[in-house]
Structure 1
Amino acid sequence: MTAPQRFFLIDDNPHDQLLAMEAFAELCPDCHLTFANDGSEALRLLQSTDELPEVILLDVNMPGMNGFEVLQSLKKDPRLATIPVVMLTTSGAPEDVAAAYTLYASSYLVKAQDFSAFLSQIEAFLGYWAHCRTIHA
């Protein structure tokens, strides 16, 4: 079993992108982390590449298409529908969690407030996915 190496983060916040980049660089230097700043850009990138990510990290609160709209679009596209999508967001609202799972998110993580806690969170995330099988390996 090979752990996922290609991750795709869809998040409009440059600070959160930087934190994720630093966490992945420290915890999984062999991982490839790609970014999109919004849902439209993410869908364009995903639909135009031959090398799909093995796991998508998706923020809920974004301008334009929010995370739920992006998730819905991903799951409607037969080529992208099987990619696991993990919601990574600041919202812990029960209705947001329920909406994500209703739209077939694989998991829901509320972003930790400080970098040390975020690092632990990403370490647990990577550990989990290291033991899962994905289709796009």
Structure 2
Amino acid sequence: MKNLKILLIEDDEIEIMKLNRVISTLGFKHQLTRAANGEEAIECLKSPDTLPDIILLDLNMPKISGIEFLNILKNNSTLKYIPTVVLTTSSNYKDLMECYKIGIAGYIIKPLKYEDYVEKIKRTLQYWSVNELISV
């Protein structure tokens, strides 16, 4: 299983700690970089040396919303190939449809139960660590 470079775009400290704990508990050796909002994420993506293998994106963020960030990302000829999985509390069907229309790789609604969250993150990261990824 390949170790992934993951860019987590999330403004909630508790969610960041939770994801870090899950990765550590599962024994994954993925490298997690965090951006607190879309503007920080765009800065992180400017250096070709540090591009992530996958982006985990919250939709509800300050400054640039998740959907606005997706539009910027998918309109960039280099960055559009980075698989982006939305990790959100929003079960809004309009958000779901808009994200898939823009070109996301997946949409995960954060479950309330911690055990369910662990299972969803585990499956997602296992899938992307064996999937063939495009190096840009």
TM-score band (shorter)?
Answer: over 0.9
CA distance in structure 2 between the partners assigned to 1:96 and 1:4 by the alignment: 30
Tell me which amino acid in the other structure corresponds to 2:133.
T
Q: Secondary structure at 1:87's aligned position in 2?
A: strand
Written as runs of structure 1 = structure 2, the 5 A alignment for 1:82-101 is: 82-101=81-100
Deviation string for 1:89-137 (max 9, x for gaps)?
A: 0001111100100110111000111222111111111122133111139
Q: Is the 8 A contact 1:4 1:134 kept in 2?
A: no
% identical equivalent positions: 32
Partner residue in 2 for 1:123? 122
Written as runs of structure 1 = structure 2, the 5 A alignment for 1:64-103 is: 64-103=63-102
Change (3 A) 1:107 1:4: farther
Flag structure 1 segments of 5+ consecutive residues without an equivalent. Answer: none
How many residues align? The count is: 136
Tell me which amino acid in the other structure corresponds to 1:63.
P
Q: CA deviation at 1:77?
A: 1.3
Q: Is the 8 A contact 1:58 1:85 kept in 2?
A: yes
Partner residue in 1 for 2:135? 136
TM-score of the aligned structures, taking structure 1 as reference length: 0.92
When structure 1 is superposed on structure 2, of 73-82 and 97-106 the one drifting more is: 73-82
TM-score of the aligned structures, taking structure 2 as reference length: 0.93
Q: Secondary structure at 2:117's aligned position in 1?
A: helix
Q: CA deviation at 1:51?
A: 2.2
Change (3 A) 1:53 1:28: farther
CA RMSD of aligned residues (A): 1.5
Flag structure 2 segments of 5+ consecutive residues without an equivalent. Answer: none
Q: Secondary structure at 2:28's aligned position in 1?
A: coil
Runs of 4+ with >3 A deviation: none
Tell me which amino acid in the other structure corresponds to 2:73.
L
CA distance in structure 2 between the partners assigned to 1:49 and 1:27 by the alignment: 29
